Structure 1
């Protein structure tokens, strides 16, 4: 018989009644045999040997010890492979059946024929497993107390899963080896022939990734299926029935978390198979005869950004210890399974490059986008507060979140994505309420806050290729978001992961190591260790990782308190005092007739506006919760602008009085009323224009939110500038008149004012100018310093007492208020000065009204 016929016959025998049944029977016989033929020896070393990897890290400077999780994963791999559990029924591979015939044929093969047989077996077992003939397709089995506590049933199911994992791993190795055995041969003379071979290569490569995705899908099911029974044998077999019920529920939750991570791998491999069609091949101009494979940004090279290990144990063990004392062991086992899976699938991705490295030079597309570590965005503070609270007070993932909390997370993801799409770098803050509505956050920090272990993206699979696709869509096509592969709810998670890993140098937790990492490949069909230096990205470990996480946590917690709970009683007290003194100042101006002139009415309008603003923002909204926050911000900003315009009217009236040398008390009551109506018209016309423009912009679209705030802020700034001009002109006229008096040698020994009066006038000038409002708004722009802004907010609540002291407790108003108050208590007790003045006035009036009888008679 020809060698090819011999190989086909042996392969057919091995495939009799199911490839794996016969092969496993052959492997068991060879393990018991002390002397092996060439065919048996090659089959044992290349198929029956341990299929898992033994990763060993080295850097350019020194050897690094693998973290404990890696060592535990290797021990778990040894246990899975060397499991003493009885194998499932052979299904036709009895000792006297196909197994014996296959052994007989193996002993006749030469070394060369044995190698050819391995080539045939490698390709056959991968195809059979992909066609679901190697393992049954299990549903996501839910373990219960009966199946776990029944040893025979649990061992049977565990045995099936263990052997399924073994077969899937062998099939994976076989698929990779099959590609190594039968690579595309590049022999070409002209460009059309090269392109034809390139098309064949792309088809083969696409098929390779699709097959791996199919195997990964099988592996994800069976790997996660191992979690519960192995965990039960480690830790759960001594629990009571009540404890076991909760233990099973918690383990199912851990299994779901693990499946979510593995689902991201599956999506990546599926995307990788679809992206191969975009690969281009050309001749290297610098090396005639050499080929260059140009891979797009979206290719399997992005798989290296998948995390090397989970952070379940580090992040959640302490959180869940109270609920589940064995939480640390649960999460550690999940980490071990993931590491075992991660190493296996990463090497399959890297190995395909090594197959063609002698024939093809790979050139990957680089993403031409600058570092984004210092970009800022304006986002919703409710979402930021949710992210900060999740980091400051993380919850155990084994606990069921309330439905309201789940909906809140989904709404937050949608809101954040909407904010990110708007790309508003900074929205001016015109009030403290506006500060609690929008906050400027560093883009990279926001991405980390969303996708960290405690964030709002725990239930979204981590698909790196999809994330980069979405991020590229976001940056390269800002006006067309239809290119996104993620839905609106998950888009912020997808884009944030890509931004954090690729475009945030100051925030990235991944290191690049070129030709400094060695991994052992068991894919070669010869019993020779194969070691290759590869480029790898691995996560910073141990103390460096913890310090890195702590730095990000500290950077996040500065957004923690937009309101400080411990100061809430003090805040309420300040607000109450402010309201009382503002009402008192307004009452004095309404009570005293001397203050009912034009300046007094303008200041009274200013006080009423400020009081209404406090009642709306600090009482109605903060305590009653109505209206909604955006509307409350509009009302608060509009009243801030109105108070500034009232000050414009007052300052202009002061300037007019000084210029025309006409005191306010010289106006008749009818003239005062007419002028005040005209002042109201001048105040409300510009105020209405600005407010209508701001409301129209904000209510038209969220994209115009920044424009509406700019309109209001510009109005406030122009108003304050007008006040400063008027006060400056008044000061200039005073200095000019004083200089003129000195030139005329008019000297007076009396001082213009005392130090106390100078202080009062200075404070009044600052209040009337509105500089305090600009300073307050300026502090509100200091985003990220929540406590400082809160303190400034508290400081603004003392405006009421300051206004009362400056405008009521002075040498003119206070005596009048005192005398009027005394008269109200005792009308007969007239002060001495007032009594004399009143008697003189009465005598003068009587003399003017009396007519002398002598005069009349004389006339």
Structure 2
């Protein structure tokens, strides 16, 4: 029979029975060759077996990392898995019936072919494999099959499903390799030289169309393969380990293995999406002549080309990350995750085989020029984000949970909310928001963009259920950076955008945070599936140490509130409130403290009491108002405290400047002056507060502006205090200088060491430097524990104020005398004796008269 007739006959067989006939032919030919009877095969059989049966199973080789000093942890599981799969790799030879007759007929026709005729036949076959497989390689009866206790324990059904599914995977792989071989060996040739511009563009259009068809076919085949790999997992896991599970535990085991299957399917879905995306981008390739080298063509590829496919991970970290976590819940968790990693690695080899061909094919005809993304390294970029979400990311890394456990609905909802919140924070692009209080620190935190991206997309992060598509990630990241005001170009939704952009940022724009560097990885080839190599990637000690470094970098965001110090915090808050109330009470009780400076300092104390009650009691205990409003109130009261200190310092300066003591002011004038000072304090304070509230409530984009307004107001207020105190010190030094020139020198010292210490502390308090220092410490973003300790330290303000302003040589004796008068109204305090000797004698006689009367009685 002529070759054309054989091809026609086999084409009819393919149309009627799919590639099962050719599988049968390959099985029988392989059996004869392996039994030592290869010399008994005809030229047609040998050529077909060599060029079709073997070539379609061979995949490109990779360079391994050399001899392994230590076998991978999952080696034994991989070997057992390979052995289990191998039994289902090849379809059994067809027996009786129509399929057997078709197989025998095909073998008979092959024996009559010459070598050249066989080559022609093989070329026809491998170019038809992809279209035939797309139509017939699916196993509809097994699609989305619900595996339960009954179906898994049915050996016939399980073995049939495994055999059919793995056989479908082998057919898909053979079709994919055949499609590549067809493109390389039997594709059309293009004449690029001596073409004018019109002819070049026409030829380029044909070339793009053929490439587009190639990628479309591969993406469809890989989509089918991903489906079958996912379907293969559950019955293969039962065959490998589940048959040792008791009937009581089998229901939970099936639930866990289904969860791992979903995780595997999520990973494979990302690979399929990338291939489909790449097939659509072929139309954007441009061919042009190289002006520097005439006769040489340039192929300009856009950024979203198949070059990005190499960023897909070679292996999944299921086994390393989750085995120990899930061991208590599921003793066979390690084997489950190893099986999932094995299937993923095997699929990744098939997937890479399709992608790597494109790079090599360009080099023969073109000079590939890839579009560069004009964006600098983002390793040092910082963002201001929501603290609760950062705490959630930190907790997920510090205390990871087993993915087999059912998360509470609240936890799932919180993850989704944080993904949306973090994306909203990224869109706002606020590099740094000033922190004016501890509450503001617990609301916003400045985080490195690359570290935040790594925390989000880590295996334990909040992006576990989002497929990793490098093509979509780069598209979204480019939209984010190049079109900051127009987010309509995003392909991801608002919930998944943070995951998509973070992955692209990490891979392409974070050189100092790149979590997987080729130099730190090791790829090993395991030829376990007969002729199909399995690539298994391992992480070296260097890469593991780098990963540990990133984990440690997140610890700085741990514990914005330390639970172990909760009772200490409550105690300090109570002590602070008690002493603040005590200081205010003394100023209201003692008449000599009711002068103008005393009333101003009392206003300062009342403002501080209200601030502590609002932020530490009402908000912490009752949870009202909401955190942003509480931050506004806290910042406003901090500013008002500074303004009271402004008035106090100014009055101090005015008294020294005009040599007028505060006690010399008459009561009527005192009330008038105090009302005027209150009015002067409220005008700037209300102006700043209204501006801050208007900015923050108008839009979240103006949050940074509202904080800056408050911080500028506080800074200007403290600056005014320092100027006033500086003028007072200058006048004292100037007066002392002139007195020395006038030879007026006394033996009395200015003050004792104790008094100097008290005055220094008072100067810091009155100047507002303590507030600035506290705010400065709050800017130390990323060190949560340290800022928390500073917050605890600020709670001792009450005792400090009481000691410095009450426990002095003037106020404390007066307070002691007033208290003693309560117990003994007739006692005369020291220094408050009567004015004349006659009055003292009369008082003495009045006191002695009852004693004389009593003695006479």
TM-score, normalised relative to structure 1: 0.92
Aligned position for 1:695: 693
Distance 1:441 1:340, change over 3 A: same
Superposition map of 1:730-769 within 5 A: 730-769=728-767
What's the counterpart of residue 344 of structure 1? 350
Partner of residue 847, structure 1: none
**Cα deviation, residue 837, structure 1:** 4.6
Higher deviation after alignment, 653-662 or 108-117: 108-117
Aligned to 1:419: 425
1:116 is aligned, of 120, 132, 141, to 120
Paired residues of 1:302 and 1:465 also in contact (CA < 8 A): yes
The equivalences for 1:334-733 within 5 A come to: 334-512=340-518, 541-733=539-731
Deviation at 1:567, TM superposition (A): 1.2
Match runs of 1:32-111 below 5 Å: 32-33=31-32, 34=37, 35-49=40-54, 51=57, 53=59, 55-58=61-64, 76=81, 80-83=85-88, 87=92, 93-95=98-100, 97-111=101-115
Once the 2 structures are TM-superposed, how far is the Cα of residue 92 of structure 1 from its aligned partner? Answer: 6.2
Q: Which residue of 2 aligns with 1:204?
A: 210
CA distance in 1, matches of 2:58, 2:445: 49
For 1:274, the equivalent position in structure 2 comes to 280
1:453-496: per-residue Cα shift (whole Å, max 9, x none)? 00000000000000001111111111111111111100000000
In terms of mean alpha carbon deviation, does 8-17 or 407-416 score higher?
A: 8-17
Deviations 1:363-394 (A, max 9, x none): 21222211111111110000000000001111
Aligned-pair distance for 1:205? 1.1
Pair 1:810-2:808 in alignment: yes
Once residues 162 and 28 of structure 1 are traced to their aligned partners in structure 2, the CA distance between those partners, rounded to angstroms, is: 15
User: Per the alignment, in what secondary structure is the counterpart of residue 678 of structure 1?
Assistant: helix
CA positional deviation for 1:748: 2.1
Determine if the alignment matches structure 1 residue 223 to structure 2 residue 221. Answer: no
8 Å Cα contact 1:17-1:93 kept in structure 2: no
How far 1:82 moved relative to its partner? 4.7
The 8 Å contact of residues 362 and 368 in structure 2, kept in 1 or not, is answered as: no
CA offsets, 1:329-367, max 9 Å, x none? 000000000000001111210013323432222121222
CA shift in 2, pair 1:837/1:710, >3 Å: farther
Give the 3-state SS of the residue equivalent to 1:427 in structure 2: coil
Measure the CA separation in 1 of the matches of 2:130 and 2:836: 116
- Using the alignment, how far apart are the partners of 1:633 and 1:79 within structure 2? 62
CA contact (8 A) 2:423 2:498 kept: yes
Checking the alignment, whether the CA contact within 8 Å between 2:318 and 2:341 is kept in structure 1 is yes
Give 1:274 deviation, angstroms.
Answer: 0.9
Instruction: Go from structure 1 to structure 2 and tell me whether the alpha carbon gap of 1:386 and 1:398 turns closer, same or farther (over 3 Å shift).
Output: same
Take 1:90 and 1:417, find their aligned partners in 2: how far apart are those partners? 60
Deviation of 1:530 after TM superposition, in Å, equals 14
Q: 1:501 deviation in Å?
A: 0.7
Counterpart secondary structure, 2:244: coil
Please state whether the residue corresponding to 1:164 is helix, strand or coil.
Answer: helix
Is residue 2:159 matched to residue 1:160?
no
Give, in whole Å, the separation in 1 of the partners of 2:75 and 2:297.
Answer: 38
Quick one: distance in 1 between partners of 2:751 and 2:838? 31
CA distance in 2, matches of 1:432, 1:780: 7
Q: Distance in 1 between matches of 2:420 and 2:209?
A: 38
Cα pair 2:526 2:536 within 8 Å, conserved? no
Give the whole-Å Cα distance in 2 for the aligned partners of 1:619 and 1:802: 21
Q: CA deviation at 1:70?
A: 8.2
User: Does the 8 A contact of 2:604 with 2:644 survive in 1?
Assistant: yes
Report the count of equivalent residues. Answer: 829
Q: Give the Cα separation in 1 of the matches to 2:617 and 2:95.
A: 78
The alpha carbon displacement at 1:753 in A equals 1.9
Equivalent pair of 1:39/1:106 in contact (CA under 8 Å): yes
1:525 is matched with: none
After TM superposition, the structure 1 stretch with the greater mean CA deviation from structure 2, 354-363 or 775-784, is: 354-363
Alignment CA distance shift 1:133-1:104 (3 Å) = same
1:196–1:517 CA distance, 2 compared to 1 (3 A): farther
Give the 3 Å change call, closer, same or farther, for CA 619–452 of structure 1 in structure 2: same
Shift in alpha-carbon separation, 1:681–1:100, aligned structure 2, 3 A = same
Aligned residues of 1:128 and 1:134 also touching (Cα < 8 A): no
* Aligned-partner SS, 2:368: strand
Is the CA contact 1:510–1:540 (under 8 Å) kept in the aligned structure 2? no
Which whole-Å deviations, capped at 9, do the CAs of 1:286-315 have from their partners, x for residues lacking one?
A: 332222211111011111100000000000
SS at match of 2:383: strand
Pairwise CA distance, 1:648: 0.2
Change (3 A) 1:355 1:160: same
> Does the aligned pair in 2 maintain the 1:409–1:456 contact within 8 Å?
yes
Distance of aligned partners of 1:558 and 1:429 in 2 relative to their CA distance in 1, 3 Å threshold: same
Quick one: structure 1 residues 388 and 494, their matched pair in 2 at CA, closer, same or farther if it must change by over 3 Å?
same
How far did 1:749 drift? 2.1
How many angstroms apart in 2 are the aligned matches of 1:78 and 1:477? 52
1:6 matched to 2:5? The reply is yes
CA contact (8 A) 2:27 2:93 kept: no
Q: Return closer, same or farther for 1:30/1:337 CA change in 2, 3 Å cut-off.
A: same
Of residues 791-800 and 444-453 in structure 1, the stretch that sits farther from structure 2 once superposed is: 791-800
Change (3 A) 1:170 1:746: same
> What secondary structure sits across from 1:836 in the alignment?
coil
Kept in 1: contact 2:18–2:136 (CA 8 A): no
Distance (Å, rounded) in 2 between the aligned partners of 1:546 and 1:374: 23
* 1:700-751 deviation per Cα after TM superposition (whole angstroms, max 9, x unaligned): 1111000000000000000000000000001111111111112222222222
1:68/1:365 Cα in 2 relative to 1: closer, same or farther (>3 Å)?
A: farther
Whole-angstrom CA distance in 1 between matches of 2:524 and 2:394: 39
C-alpha change, 1:16 and 1:792, in structure 2 (3 Å) is: closer
Indicate which of 144, 147, 153 corresponds to 1:140: 144
Deviation digits for residues 142-182 of structure 1 (CA, Å, limit 9, x no counterpart): 21011111111111111111111111111111221221233
Q: Deviations over 1:683-716 (max 9, x none)?
A: 0000000000000000011110000000000000
Unaligned runs of 5+ in 2: 843-857
For 2:28, the equivalent position in structure 1 comes to 29
Aligned to 1:852: none
1:253 shift after superposition: 0.3
Contact 1:184–1:201 at 8 Å: present in 2 too?
no
Partner of 1:330: 336
Deviations 1:21-75 (A, max 9, x none): 211222232234322112211222333338264854346x999999566896687
Does the CA contact (< 8 Å) of 1:198 and 1:281 recur in 2? Answer: yes
User: Judging changes above 3 Å, is the alpha-carbon distance between structure 1 residues 8 and 540 closer, same or farther for their aligned structure 2 residues?
Assistant: closer
1:224-263 correspondence to structure 2 within 5 Å: 224-263=230-269
| 1:565 shift after superposition | 1.1
Q: How far off is 1:109 after superposition? A: 1.1
Q: What does the per-residue CA deviation read over 1:424-476, in whole Å, with 9 as the maximum and x for residues that have no partner?
A: 11000000000001101011000000000000000000000000011111111
